[in-house]
Amino acid sequence: MRIDIVTCLPKLLYSPFNQSILHRAQKKGIVEVVVHDLRAYAINKHQQVDDYAYGVGAGMVLMPEPLDKCISGLKEEYDYDEIIYMTPDGETFNQKIANHFSLKNNLMIICGHYKGIDERIRAMHVTREISIGDYVLSGGELGAAVVADAVIRLLPGVLSDETSALTDSYQDGLLAPPVYTRPADYKGLKVPEVLLSGHEAKIEAWRLEKAMERTKQRRPDLYKKIFEDSSDDGK
């Protein structure tokens, strides 16, 4: 998979992609993440990429020209499955959308900044608009890192058995059950007996019970959904 990220603040993205799982996935050649600095497409020597919003008192908007140049150049080279714009007015990101993106070859993620990007770029190039939650960030970069992380960890070969994505919260519509590691007794708080039993079927039943319990308690909305017919594949 290849993920191109278009941003006017590339440094914001260096750390998330140069640590741990995301770094390893790139080193293994499973994913190529390329961050494009919008300032390289600036309209003048002042490196201008934004301007005042028409008809609004305050707020800057990323101009169409640098974005269009950058995006069009990339589109000439790669066939994108999705061109994603990170925006608080997009559809809320979830595990189903992450699963859907993880099956693609080429993704582009566009990060807005300040008040966002010129609407015409959305009309011309964007195929999917994603929000990471009902709050406003100062730009799309952190959201882009969230989306890329959730997608990359699903790619075959990225996670080892020990960190398998199959047992994640949300993957089966349930929150994950509690987990424990050594010691078996910590300050008098004991690991549930069944987890030490080595009895696989009993452990599985316990984990399912706890996952159901936790989901019912913390996310009754998800719990209800499990019993409803769900044919939505995240598209």
Backbone angles phi, psi at 140, to 5 degrees: -85, -5
- What is the helix (H) or strand (E) element at residue 23, kind and residue range? helix 20-27
Judged by CB under 6 A, the residue of 133, 157, 183, 220 near ligand ADE is 133
| Contact partners, residue 212, CB within 8 Å, separation at least 6 | 174, 223
Q: Is 143 in the site for ligand ADE (CB under 6 A)?
A: yes
Q: Fill in the per-residue mask, 78 to 117: x = in contact with ligand ADE (CB under 6 A), - = not in contact.
A: --------xxx-----------------------x-----
What SS3 class is residue 44?
coil
Cβ nearer to ligand ADE, comparing 132 with 159: 132
Q: Is 126 in the site for ligand ADE (CB under 6 A)?
A: no
Cβ nearer to ligand ADE, comparing 136 with 179: 136
Give the interface size with ligand ADE as a residue count (CB under 6 A).
Answer: 12
- DSSP annotation string for 113-135: BTT-B-HHHHHHH-SEEEESSSS
> CA geometry: angle at 4 spanning 139 and 144, to 5°?
30
Judged by CB under 6 A, the residue of 33, 140, 168, 174 near ligand ADE is 140
Binding region for ligand ADE (CB under 6 A): 86-88, 112, 131-133, 135-137, 140, 143
